[in-house]
Amino acid sequence: MKKQYFGTDGIRGEVGRFPIVPEFMTRLGYAAGKVLTQNAKQGERCQILIGKDTRVSGYLLEASLEAGFAAAGVDVMLCGPIPTPGVAYLTKALRLSAGLVISASHNPYQDNGIKFFSANGDKLSDDFELAIEAELEKPMGCVSSEELGKAFRLDDAAGRYIEFCKSTFPGDQNLKGLKLVVDCANGAAYHTAPHVFHELGAEVISIGVHPDGRNINDGCGATAPDALIAKVKEVGADLGIALDGDADRLQMVDASGRLFNGDELLYVLAKERTDRGEALGGVVGTLMTNLAVEIAIKDLGIGFERAKVGDRYVLELLKHKGWLIGGEGSGHLLCLDQHSTGDGTIAALQILAAMKLSNQSLPQLLNSVKIFPQVLLNVKFKAGYDWKTDASLKFQIAQVETELKGTGRVLIRESGTEPVLRVMVEAQDKAIALSAAKSIANLIPTS
């Protein structure tokens, strides 16, 4: 069955437009609560943790969801603003029935969304989401007064999460002598990430730590790293760390202002573990992971597989393969030996640990990785055009792939929201990549 509301990363949209409206959120809380109680053990009282980022709409949606869960007889534990991976951790640590995050991640403040975690701290299964959607089709009810859910405040949520993050850093190492700039995107990590790095010994200069409900991801954080680059240079920091609004993405900057994306950091995570003699088996990237990173990871003597774009698909493939490390260029990095979901703060700690243990800088750790230039052309195609059956287009793609064999690759993706084909060509030389991409794009009928 096709899901109506849940996408690849929960439910997301503009606040005030269906489904991100109070009435639907109350019904969603009730529907999810009904599914939880139906799957609970005999006599077990269901509890769900609700966290959020710093968007002003979080108050509205939190209250609506709380009412829905209470009507279904589910107790709600509120922990206020906290990183998405913090909710995943606390849900598992506190032995709760499920966790829920109110966040639209890297989107502007006008958007918001809902993301669920299972009792084990990972994403809900498709079956569970379909069950919630089935309940949404039924009339909303309410349990009796004696069965109504209650609400509690978890006052030490941030402190618990900070200690968990610190526990993932080697116990015999510290960050003393390092000067770090930490950009929290005016988001959920504003009161957690700076403390993590400071308590491990680093000198921390924080930016993006003054949320006002409307400035989340606004010219700061992992999706807008220019502010971090400028600050690193201004204060002469050793490194910069950028998180996004819900702190599950990571980008890093060295003292020269060079930006390192998720692809490069993924290689560092893999290399550190293989250098320690850990049996990784392999690493999972996505269809967009740079070919140079794939080649470098295979040179480490381990496997590499590509998932569809999205950390959900990376996680699914990791579990299927029984592997531990995966991620994508946007900065979603999964270290399943440390956490059940992607966590920007923990990923940064793993990179810092790799630097400490090897006594090398980020550029030195990436010395063998020469990122291939990528050219991406978005082509709006004519209505009714079926690119998958276009013989001339298929022939040209095959020609380009033959010419690039071993030194580049081609990826064609259709947008899910508009009649646009995304033509990506990767090659060791940018001019070759651009020429190849144009040779394909020029065959797509646009009118």
Got the DSSP string for 402-427? Answer: HHHTTTEEEEEEE-SSSSEEEEEEEE
Q: Is 325 in the same domain as 381?
A: no
Q: Is 119 in the same domain as 201?
A: no
Tell me what pLDDT residue 12 has: 95
Q: Is 21 in the same domain as 147?
A: yes
Domain range enclosing 178: 160-258
Tell me what pLDDT residue 310 has: 86
Q: What are phi and psi of 228, to 5 degrees?
A: -65, -45
Neighbours of 442 (CB within 10 A): 12
Q: Which of 155, 187, 222 is the last residue of a domain?
A: 155
Give helix 262-275 / helix 291-299 axis angle, nearest 10°.
0
| SS3 at position 305 | strand
Task: Fill in the amino acid letter for 337.
Answer: D
Question: Parallel, antiparallel, or unpaired for β 203-207 and 98-102?
Answer: unpaired
Residues 6+ away with beta carbon under 8 Å from 153 = 77, 78, 79, 80
105 counts as catalytic: yes
Of 238, 275, 294, the C-alpha closest to 411 is 294
Q: Is 195 in the same domain as 301?
A: no
What is the C-alpha end-to-end distance of the chain, expressed in Å? 34
Q: Which of 241, 258, 275 is the last residue of a domain?
A: 258
Cα-only R_g, the chain: 23
Give domain status of residue 352, yes or no: no
- Spatial contact of 388 and 421, defined as CB atoms under 8 Å apart: no
Q: What is the CATH number of the domain that holds 275?
A: 3.40.120.10
Give domain status of residue 203, yes or no: yes
Q: Is 75 in the same domain as 174?
A: no
Q: Is 227 in the same domain as 190?
A: yes
For residue 377, the cross-strand partners are 423
Q: Is 24 in the same domain as 129?
A: yes
Q: Which of 258, 273, 298 is the last residue of a domain?
A: 258
Q: What is the CATH number of the domain that holds 382?
A: 3.30.310.50
Question: Which position among 64, 105, 206, 340 bears the catalytic label?
Answer: 105
CA 165 remoteness from chain centre:
17
Give domain status of residue 132, yes or no: yes
Beta strands in 53-128 (DSSP E): 75-81, 98-102, 111-117
Q: Is 41 in the same domain as 66?
A: yes
Tell me what pLDDT residue 406 has: 80
Give domain status of residue 331, yes or no: yes
Q: Is 40 in the same domain as 115?
A: yes
Q: Is 251 in the same domain as 268?
A: no
Tell me what pLDDT residue 1 has: 72
Q: Is 190 in the same domain as 241?
A: yes
Domain count, the chain: 4
Q: What string of pLDDT tens digits covers the 447 residues of the chain?
A: 789 999 878 999 999 999 999 999 999 999 999 999 999 998 899 999 999 999 999 999 999 999 999 999 999 999 999 999 999 999 999 999 999 999 999 999 999 999 999 999 988 888 999 999 999 999 999 999 999 999 999 999 999 999 999 999 999 999 999 999 999 999 999 999 999 999 999 999 999 999 999 999 999 999 999 999 999 999 999 999 999 999 999 999 999 999 999 999 999 999 999 999 998 999 999 999 999 999 999 999 999 999 998 888 999 999 999 999 999 999 999 999 999 999 999 999 999 999 999 999 999 999 989 999 999 999 999 989 999 999 999 999 999 999 998 899 999 988 876 889 999 999 999 999 999 999 999 999 997
Q: Is 149 in the same domain as 222?
A: no
Tell me what pLDDT residue 170 has: 96
Of 193, 263, 200, the C-alpha closest to 228 is 193
Give domain status of residue 386, yes or no: yes
Tell me what pLDDT residue 7 has: 87
Give domain status of residue 412, yes or no: yes
DSSP summary character for residue 20: S
Tell me what pLDDT residue 167 has: 98
Give domain status of residue 388, yes or no: yes
Give domain status of residue 196, yes or no: yes
Neighbours of 405 (CB within 10 A): 9
The H or E element containing residue 13 is strand 11-14
